């Protein structure tokens, strides 16, 4: 018996029935199709990564052949000849002779790495790292390589596996790969890293005490540039040290948050002792370079201190900082103001070069400044640093082209002045694609000094030590055009051009030196008479532009 509250279903009319398309089913079909196509492309990327790794291994093995490596080495006849007479070698010749520490295999490896890096526009370290990873996949983890080539795992999965595999003794690597590879095929990268780390701990034959001691020797810190005038400071240390440091920073930030964010009058001026040297190039005519030498001086009251912030008008109301911002500011204050137990840190100064257009310095323009080794920074930050710079170096630039014409008056042939001029011009190593700062690079004679190359601005350029050696020991060739333009030719006969970071104008010719009038020797019978002294004319000053 049916319930009176439930209406009976309508009778079906087979003659008038026409099924309507199910929209939900249509969407599900399209979703499956599009995602499957995306997954196929993702798998093809993994397969391409495997092919690239295999090609890098092939390139490295080709360069290691003795007959190839010897032909990729440059001509060392001059260096070997100088080495035979070491007692009479000049400092430059002795330095060149020291370059022979690179044998044929090393020169060949660096040649193929630099050739490929310039061709695909990536850093040489990136190519070297990928080359090492490719060899490790091919020889130490063949099953992982096959899974990558088949698109079963991503390259990030393969790298995570290699990172753990590399820390195991060779005899335990095969067992580890067999145990962990199935997890790489089914887990996301983050979870797979955790799984691989735990399996590695179980399979490692050495105790964690021994491994911790070895890992401690690898501690380091490094700086990494970021966008929009920012950067990363990385510290790799023990787990308890890094965790304790973060806990202290967090506790200080939380304390500041609880008592209320300090106002502008409570915050110390971030640039009162920032330890930064300052160099300014004027786009409109005359600029200045400042050398801030004060040690960092950010106060910390009651152990938690006011976190650093750019100095601002005390009357201006500042927004309350978030906890993340407070942590960052506390870290900055501790690092800049902290002193080690042995007294290191007091008076230690970091030195950089900052170039600022003069109109920006005067507040009449908002053109960004340039931090050496980084790039553009905000005008406000540059003006704050300039406001506390005790000294300046004038740079004269063309008002339209921005070409640097002068760095101020210097003594003739002043080596320090020439180095400063070249440092401003180059900013970095001048090998194609290299970004190592000029301040840590060598000043190289493009045409070798031992072969008659001149020591002037049109024959000098910065090269970091590896590329300085590569220039001397390999088949790379370089010529320099006026204005500091370098034209490189690779061993593969490809051409590359590197321009200076700050183009320098052609130097004006110096006026002829006017010396005193030549005196004639008096006659023998006139030695008793008063001798006429010719009027001396002072030597004109050295011009304000290079060469020095």
Residue 509 pLDDT greater than 60, yes or no: no
128: left (phi over 0), alpha (psi -120 to 50) or beta: alpha
3-state secondary structure of 482: coil
Residue the block writes with tokens 């323009």: 365
170-184 helix and 155-165 helix, angle to the nearest 10 degrees? 150
- Among residues 501, 465, 466, 468, the alpha carbon closest in space to that of 485 is found at 501
Average pLDDT for 241-253: 82
pTM exceeds 0.75, yes or no: no
Q: How confident is the model at residue 264 (pLDDT cuts 50, 70, 90)?
A: very low
Beta carbons within 8 Å of 154's beta carbon, 6+ residues apart: 42, 45, 46, 148, 189
Cis preceding linkage at 415, omega within 30: no
Give residue-wise pLDDT tens across range 460-500: 899 999 999 999 889 999 999 988 999 999 999 999 999 99
Number of H helices, E strands in the chain: 17, 12
Per-position DSSP letters for 155-185, written without gaps between them: HHHHHHHHHHHTTS-HHHHHHHHHHHHHHHT
- Between the alpha carbon of residue 351 and those of residues 293, 358, 501, 505, the distances in Å are 8, 21, 19, 27
Average pLDDT for 91-112: 74
Query: What is the C-alpha to C-alpha distance for residues 514 and 194, in angstroms, rounded to an integer?
Result: 78
What mean pLDDT, rounded, does the chain reach?
A: 73
Beta carbons within 8 Å of 387's beta carbon, 6+ residues apart: 271
Beta carbons within 8 Å of 7's beta carbon, 6+ residues apart: none
Q: What share of the chain is helix, strand, coil (3-state, %, to 5)?
A: 45, 10, 45
Sign of torsion, CA 404 368 434 278? positive
What pLDDT does residue 218 have?
83
Query: What is the C-alpha to C-alpha distance for residues 256 and 327, in angstroms, rounded to an integer?
Result: 10
Considering 6-20, 53-67, 402-416, 417-431, the range whose residues carry the highest mean pLDDT is: 53-67
> Is residue 291 within 8 Å of residue 403, measured between CB atoms?
no
Structure tokens, 488: 């490189």
62-66, 186-190, 287-291: which has the minimum mean pLDDT? 287-291
Beta pairing, strands 396-397 & 404-406: antiparallel
- Among residues 141, 131, 208, 211, the alpha carbon closest in space to that of 173 is found at 141
> Is residue 330 within 8 Å of residue 305, measured between CB atoms?
yes
Looking at per-residue pLDDT, the higher value among 57 and 522 belongs to 57
Query: What is the C-alpha to C-alpha distance for residues 339 and 346, in angstroms, rounded to an integer?
Result: 6
Structure tokens, 349: 């100064």
What dihedral angle (degrees, nearest 10) is formed by the CA atoms of 421, 423, 425, 431? 140
Structure tokens, 497: 């051009």
Burial class of residue 15 in the structure, from the number of CB atoms within 10 Å of its CB (0-12 exposed, 13-18 middle, 19+ buried): exposed
What pLDDT does residue 350 have?
53
169-175 contacts at long range (C-beta below 8 A, 24 or more positions apart): 169/205, 169/206, 170/140, 172/203, 172/204, 172/205, 173/140, 173/141, 175/203
- Write out the H or E segment, with its range, that includes residue 382: helix 379-387
67-81, 181-195, 218-232, 391-405: which has the minimum mean pLDDT? 391-405
Let me know the angle formed at the C-alpha of 501 by 497 and 503, rounded to the nearest 5 degrees: 90
> Is residue 454 within 8 Å of residue 471, measured between CB atoms?
no
Residue 328 pLDDT greater than 70, yes or no: yes
Average pLDDT for 335-355: 59
Average pLDDT for 18-41: 83
- Between the alpha carbon of residue 206 and those of residues 116, 166, 200, 213, 284, the distances in Å are 39, 14, 11, 11, 65
Please list the residues that pair with 406 across neighbouring strands: 396
Residue 76: count of CB within 10 angstroms of its CB: 18
Instruction: Tell me the domain boundaries of the chain.
Output: 25-76+89-216, 233-311+324-337+346-402, 405-498
DSSP 229: T
Query: What is the C-alpha to C-alpha distance for residues 521 and 460, in angstroms, rounded to an integer?
Result: 45
């Amino acid at each position: 018996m049916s319930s009176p509250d439930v209406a009976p279903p309508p009778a079906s009319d087979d003659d008038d029935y026409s099924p309507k398309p199910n929209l939900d089913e249509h969407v599900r079909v399209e979703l499956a199709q599009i995602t499957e196509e995306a997954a196929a492309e993702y798998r093809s990327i993994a397969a391409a990564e495997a092919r690239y790794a295999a090609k890098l291994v092939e390139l490295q093995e080709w360069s290691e052949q003795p007959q190839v490596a010897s032909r990729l080495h440059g001509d060392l006849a001059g260096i070997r000849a100088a080495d035979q007479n070491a007692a009479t070698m000049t400092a430059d010749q002795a330095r060149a002779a020291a370059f022979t520490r690179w044998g044929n295999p090393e020169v060949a490896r660096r040649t193929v790495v630099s050739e490929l890096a310039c061709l695909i526009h990536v850093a040489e370290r990136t190519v070297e790292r990928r080359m090492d990873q490719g060899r490790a996949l091919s020889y130490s983890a063949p099953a992982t390589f096959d899974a990558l080539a088949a698109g079963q795992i991503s390259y990030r999965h393969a790298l995570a596996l290699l990172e753990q595999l590399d820390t195991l003794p060779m005899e335990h690597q095969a067992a580890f790969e067999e145990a962990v590879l199935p997890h790489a095929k089914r887990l996301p990268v983050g979870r797979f890293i955790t799984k691989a780390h735990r399996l590695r701990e179980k399979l490692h034959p050495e105790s964690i005490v021994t491994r911790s001691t070895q890992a401690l020797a690898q501690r380091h810190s490094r700086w990494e540039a970021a966008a929009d005038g920012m950067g990363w400071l990385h510290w790799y240390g023990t787990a308890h040290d890094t965790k304790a440091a973060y806990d202290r920073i967090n506790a200080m930030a939380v304390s500041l948050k609880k008592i209320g964010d300090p106002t502008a009058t409570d915050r110390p001026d971030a640039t009162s002792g920032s330890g930064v040297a300052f160099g300014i190039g004027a786009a409109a005519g005359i600029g200045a370079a400042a050398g801030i030498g004060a040690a960092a001086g950010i106060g910390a009251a009651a152990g938690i201190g006011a976190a650093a912030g750019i100095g601002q008008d005390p009357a201006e109301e500042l927004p309350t900082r978030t906890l993340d911002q407070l942590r960052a500011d506390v870290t900055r204050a501790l690092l800049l103001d902290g002193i080690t137990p042995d007294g290191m840190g007091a008076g230690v100064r970091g030195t950089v070069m900052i170039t600022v257009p003069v109109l920006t310095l005067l507040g009449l323009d908002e053109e960004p400044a340039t931090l050496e080794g980084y790039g553009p920074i905000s005008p406000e930050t540059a003006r704050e640093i300039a406001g506390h710079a005790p000294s300046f170096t004038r740079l004269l630039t063309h008002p339209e082209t921005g070409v640097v014409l002068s760095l101020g008056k210097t003594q003739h042939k002043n080596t320090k002045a020439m180095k400063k001029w070249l440092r401003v011009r180059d900013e970095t190593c001048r090998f194609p694609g290299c970004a190592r700062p000029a301040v840590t690079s060598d000043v190289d004679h493009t045409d070798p000094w031992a072969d008659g190359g001149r020591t002037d601005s049109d024959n000098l350029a910065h090269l970091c030590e590896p590329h300085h050696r590569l220039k001397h020991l390999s088949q790379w060739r370089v010529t320099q055009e006026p204005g500091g333009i370098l034209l490189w030719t690779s061993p593969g006969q490809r051409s590359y051009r590197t321009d200076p970071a700050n183009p320098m104008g052609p130097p004006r010719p110096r006026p002829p030196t006017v010396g005193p009038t030549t005196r004639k020797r008096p006659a023998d019978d006139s030695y008793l008479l008063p001798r006429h002294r010719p009027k001396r004319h002072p030597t004109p000053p050295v011009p304000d532009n290079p060469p020095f």
